[in-house]
């Protein structure tokens, strides 16, 4: 895989684009504190697509919101750090963080309709992002905006031209005409493309895509995923792809993190993870996913439900649903251990799982 080489190349030069260290994001509620993200470490190198897979209630979206800095009240990051290009996003001044967010980190959401302004044309929205975050010599002050609106000068500016280029880059047909359309005139797939165009318009270093294809049909999903991969190469953008769909991750990502109940339980190069899943949760998840090419395989659901993330008393959050749990699993917090076959292709010793019952012979329970 070409992408592994990229990662290796980056290893000897420069910081990773994003480092999340021991992140804890919590929401106080009437019933107790919801520990949505409970001690997560995550690294994204330049130019790679990293997958974050988990079911609903795993805290994956809150993790994304923490990275981008848009955790909703009353949630807050209580511990840990998010470093972007080596610099802590949490320690930054608000103004600087604002500049980074949107300019160098951008986000794509599951439902594009909710994140596009229905009263502005798609092109105008992209152009505005460009004006805000890139120096195109167009003022973003209110009088300037009004003037553009009234005189209609917007369509000759650099920002507008850039917007059309971006729409073209995400393969929206007839971008010149479509740019003047309103979001409701777009189909679901086109809207998601427009969102991606907007997110990429400032050539961010990191794109956080939260379930970007979940609301789309499979043929459209295929288009969008292909798009994302192409754009990653074209713009050299790192992508954090958050999804519940194992197959999407398997096809698109370079590395994968599996998240369960606020914690990351397994991480590896994509190929290694799916060739040899180690954590019982990952194994269960794969066993319960219907697969097109294995119709005769029995589905083996993981019994039970994802726990409420309030006051979980046991150490390994998966223990109650795990077929292999011992008493120790409830008592001892599992640390990451190397689990993969380091000789296997695509492993490189980076395959780790947080499970007491996995790992090297001596340590395994």
Partner 1 sequence: MTDATDASADTEADDAARPDGGTPAYARNTGEFGVGEVPQEYETGERVTAHRSTGERIVEALTDNKLALAGAVTIVALVLVAVFAPYVAPYGPEQQFGFMQEPMGQSTADVDGDGTTETVTHYLGTDSFGHDILTRIIYGARISMGVALATVAFAFTVGTTLGILAGFYGGWVDSVIMRYIDFQWAFPTIILGVGIIAVMGGLGWLNVVVAIGIAFIDDFARIIRGEVLSIREEEYITAARAVGMGDARIMFKEMLPNAVAPLIVQATLMIPFAILAEAGLSFLGLGVKPTTPTWGLLISDGRQFVSQAWWISVMPGLAIMFTVLAFNTVGDGLRDAFDISEGEVN
Partner 2 sequence: MSADTPVGAEPSEDPDSEDPDSVDRDAATPGDDGAADDADPVLSAEGLEKHFEQSDGFLDRLLGTGGTVKAVDGVDLEVREGETLAVVGESGCGKSTLGQALLNLHRPTDGTVRYRGEEITGLSGSAMRPYRRHLQMVFQDPLASLNPRKTVGDIVIGPMEVHDEPSTDPDVTTTAEVRVDGAVTEPVAVSVDDDVDRAVGSVEGVAAVDVEVGPATDGEGIEVDLGEAGAVLAATVDRTADGYEVRISVDASTPDLRRYRAGALLERVGLERGHLDRYPSQFSGGQQQRVGIARALAVEPDLIVADEPVSALDVSVQAQILNLLEELQTELGLSLLFISHDLSVVRQVADRVAVMYLGEIVETAPVDELFAEPRHPYTKSLLSAVPRIDPGDRSDRTVLRGSVPSPIDPPAGCRFHTRCPEVIPGAGWDGDQESFRRAFSFRTRVESGELEPDAVRDRLEAESDASATDETVAARLLETALPGAVDAFPAGVTESLREAGRLVAAGEDDDAAALLRETCPSPCVDEAPRTVETVDAATVACHRVDPDAPGEERVGD
Q: Out of 271, 319, 351, 352, name the contact with partner 2 by CB under 8 A.
A: 271
Q: Out of 244, 286, 337, 344, name the contact with partner 1 by CB under 8 A.
A: 286
Rounded to the nearest 5 degrees, what angle is found at the Cα of 259, between the Cα atoms of 267 and 226? Answer: 75
Question: CA-CA distances (angstroms) from residue 354 to 281, 283, 301, 329, 334?
Answer: 10, 13, 21, 11, 5
In the region spanning residues 28 to 47, those forming contacts with partner 1, defined by CB under 8 A, are 31
CA pair distance 15, 11, nearest whole angstrom: 8
Does residue 344 belong to the site contacting partner 2 (CB under 8 A)?
A: no
- Asked if residue 205 lies in contact with residue 238, where contact means CB atoms within 8 angstroms, the answer is yes
Q: From the CB of 304, what's the least distance to partner 2, in Å? A: 9
Burial 45-73 (b: 16+ CB within 10 A, else e): bbbbbbbbbbeebbbbbbbbbbbbbebee
Identity of the residue, 175 or 262, whose beta carbon is nearer to partner 1 in the bound complex: 262
In the region spanning residues 34 to 93, those forming contacts with partner 2, defined by CB under 8 A, are 55-57
Q: What is the CA radius of gyration of the chain?
A: 22
Identity of the residue, 157 or 320, whose beta carbon is nearer to partner 1 in the bound complex: 320
Does residue 329 belong to the site contacting partner 1 (CB under 8 A)?
A: yes
Q: From the CB of 270, what's the least distance to partner 1, in Å? A: 19
Q: Return all residues near 61 (Cβ < 8 A) that are at least 6 apart.
A: 210, 211, 242
Per-residue binding string, partner 1, 335-364, x by CB under 8 A, is ----------------------x-------
- Residue 293, binding choice from partner 1, partner 2, none, Cβ under 5 to 8 Å by partner class: partner 2
Q: Strand 238-243 vs strand 49-53: parallel, antiparallel, or unpaired?
A: parallel
Number of chain residues interacting with partner 1 (CB under 8 A): 31
Q: Out of 118, 119, 219, 313, name the contact with partner 2 by CB under 8 A.
A: 219
Q: Strand 206-210 vs strand 238-243: parallel, antiparallel, or unpaired?
A: parallel
Angle between helices 188-200 and 122-133 (to 10 degrees): 20
- Three-state secondary structure string covering 104-126: CEEEECCCHHHHCCCCCCHHHHH
Number of chain residues interacting with partner 2 (CB under 8 A): 57
Q: Out of 67, 77, 108, 164, name the contact with partner 2 by CB under 8 A.
A: 164
Q: From the CB of 48, what's the least distance to partner 2, in Å? A: 18
Q: In the complex, which residues of this chain contact partner 1 (CB under 8 A)?
A: 31, 280, 283-284, 286-287, 298, 300-304, 307-308, 310-314, 319-327, 329-330, 357
Q: In the complex, which residues of this chain contact partner 2 (CB under 8 A)?
A: 55-57, 155-156, 161, 164, 168, 173-174, 176-177, 179-180, 187-190, 217-223, 225-226, 244-248, 250-252, 271, 274, 284-293, 295-296, 298-303, 305-306
């Amino acid at each position: 895989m070409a992408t592994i080489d990229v990662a290796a190349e980056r290893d000897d030069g420069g910081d990773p684009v994003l480092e999340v260290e021991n992140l804890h994001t919590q929401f106080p509620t009437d019933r107790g504190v919801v520990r949505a993200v409970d001690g997560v470490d995550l690294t994204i190198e330049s130019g790679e697509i990293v997958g974050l897979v988990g079911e609903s209630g795993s805290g994956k979206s809150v993790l994304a919101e923490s990275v981008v800095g848009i955790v909703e009240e009353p949630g807050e990051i209580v511990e840990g750090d998010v470093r972007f290009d080596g610099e802590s996003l949490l320690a930054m001044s608000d103004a600087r963080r604002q500049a980074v967010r949107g300019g160098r980190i951008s986000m794509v959401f599951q439902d594009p309709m909710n994140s596009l302004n229905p009263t502005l044309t798609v092109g105008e929205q992209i152009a505005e992002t460009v004006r805000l975050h890139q120096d195109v010599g167009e003022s973003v002050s209110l009088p300037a905006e009004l003037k553009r609106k009234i005189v209609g000068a917007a369509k000759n500016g650099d920002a507008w031209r850039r917007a059309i280029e971006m729409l073209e880059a995400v393969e929206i047909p007839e971008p010149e005409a479509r740019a003047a359309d309103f979001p409701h005139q777009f189909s679901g797939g086109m809207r998601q493309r427009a969102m991606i165009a907007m997110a990429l318009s400032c050539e961010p270093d990191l794109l956080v895509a939260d379930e970007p294809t979940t609301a789309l049909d499979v043929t459209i999903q295929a288009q969008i995923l292909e798009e994302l991969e192409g754009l990653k190469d074209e713009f050299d953008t790192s992508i954090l792809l958050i999804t519940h769909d194992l197959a999407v991750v398997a096809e698109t990502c370079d590395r994968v993190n599996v998240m369960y109940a606020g914690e990351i339980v397994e991480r590896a190069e994509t190929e290694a993870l799916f060739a040899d899943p180690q954590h019982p949760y990952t194994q269960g998840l794969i066993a319960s996913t219907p697969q097109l090419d294995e119709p005769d395989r029995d589905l083996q659901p993981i019994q039970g439900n994802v726990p409420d993330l309030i006051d979980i008393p046991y150490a390994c959050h998966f223990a109650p649903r795990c077929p292999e749990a011992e008493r120790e699993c409830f008592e001892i917090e599992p640390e990451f251990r190397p689990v993969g076959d380091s000789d296997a292709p695509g492993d490189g010793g980076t395959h780790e799982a947080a499970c007491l019952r996995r790992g090297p012979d001596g340590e395994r329970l």
